[in-house]
Amino acid sequence: MVKKVLLFLLLSASLYAQVTLNTLMDETGTRLIWDSEHKIGTLSKGEDRIVFSTDAPSLLINYERTIPADPALYEKGILSFSDETARLIYDFFSSRREDNSYEVTTILLDPGHGGKDWGAYRPTLVDEQQTYLKEKNVNLDMALRLEELLKKKYPDKTIALTRRTDEYIDLKERVAIAESYEFSPQEGMIFLSLHANASLNKKARGFEIWYLPDNVERDLVDGDESQAVSQVLNTLWEGIFTRECYNFARFLLNSIDESYPEDFPNRGLKRELWYVLRNKNMVSALAELAFISNEEDIPLLQDEEFLDDYARALADGIGDFIEYFEK
């Protein structure tokens, strides 16, 4: 009640008073997504959204309806609103529910390759018998280890795999599996694809984490909005997912690096338009665990203790991201 009176006084101070964005966000408890190129912003709280622009004389409410309002002002890097527009925004969010929490409800692990698709492979000896170290087996082995850890760590979350056996699943089917899950606006999903690396350079070794670059085009907005509105909203949401995919990759990389500070090279974060990472409405990354083509990495990928430690490092990285995201 005190906050509402305070904002009312601010709004009523002058017929031509302007209310800054920061003041409005403090009073409403909202978060901002800002598209600086198109000068369009989205204020969000819980499941509710208001989209505003410096050009359009209206507010878009929950992507469903528009109401007349003065355009936002953007001067010297500061956003502000007329008293009437600020009052409309404040009244809307004040009437809505207070829950503003976000949750990762599903973790989907994707062991790369499988079946007829071996991925990278290398002749090796196991118990003095000639065989092949196959990437598809390394990926599945790590996914199963990681699944076991995550189920213990998060008994209330869904932990799933795109494949649990040595079967071939093409890329489109992996994406279809990922996109078959449904969520509320306050729920999120993590998609982690697991691979082992290979290179013509036999000295290349270590681990690296991949995420999507900025120029991805995904259909992230569903609904009956006009094409122009959908394009703007899609751009705004794409920025959010790009940032969170980077954060997820960063948490994974840092966790592995802390587990192997000296004897296992950190090859850093890398960006690429991997097909399986372009899933709608989820945070994704691809981990290259080690090099099957390197003589020093090969025995590590066959060592039970190393693989257990590696799975724990990945689980810790996932946990670090979840803690960050849910806050």
Residue-wise pLDDT for 182-199, tens only, equals 887 678 899 999 999 999
Q: Tokens 């369009």 sit at which residue?
A: 40
- Let me know: does 278 contact 193? Beta carbons within 8 Å: no
The pLDDT of residue 109: 98
Rounded distance, CA 203 to CA 199, Å? 9
- Both tokens of 16, joined, read 């031509």
Which CATH number is 312's domain given? 3.40.630.40
Does 185 share its domain with 297? yes
Domain boundary among 35, 61, 94: 94
Strand partners, 89: none
- The reply to whether 174 and 307 lie within a common domain is yes
CATH number at residue 64: 3.30.457.10
**Co-location of 149 and 176 in the same domain:** yes
Residue 214, SS3 per DSSP: coil
Query: At which of 94, 125, 154 does a domain end?
Result: 94
Could you report the per-residue pLDDT of 63-121, keeping only the tens digit for each? Answer: 778 899 999 998 888 899 999 999 999 999 888 755 556 789 999 999 999 999 999 99
- Paired with 51 in beta bridges are 42, 60
Q: So what's the pLDDT on residue 280?
A: 63
Do residues 21 and 156 both lie within one domain? no
Backbone angles phi, psi at 186, to 5 degrees: -105, 10
Coil, helix or strand at residue 116? coil
Q: What are the distances in angstroms from CA 254 to CA 259, 264, 291? A: 9, 13, 19
* 201 and 301 together in one domain: yes
Domain final residue, candidates 94, 125, 145: 94
Give the separation between CA 252 and CA 142, rounded to whole angstroms.
Answer: 15
Asked whether the beta carbons of 43 and 54 are under 8 A apart, the reply is no
Same domain, 43 and 109: no
Which residues does the chain have with pLDDT short of 70? 1-17, 97-101, 125-127, 185, 215-239, 278-280
Range of the domain at 68: 2-94
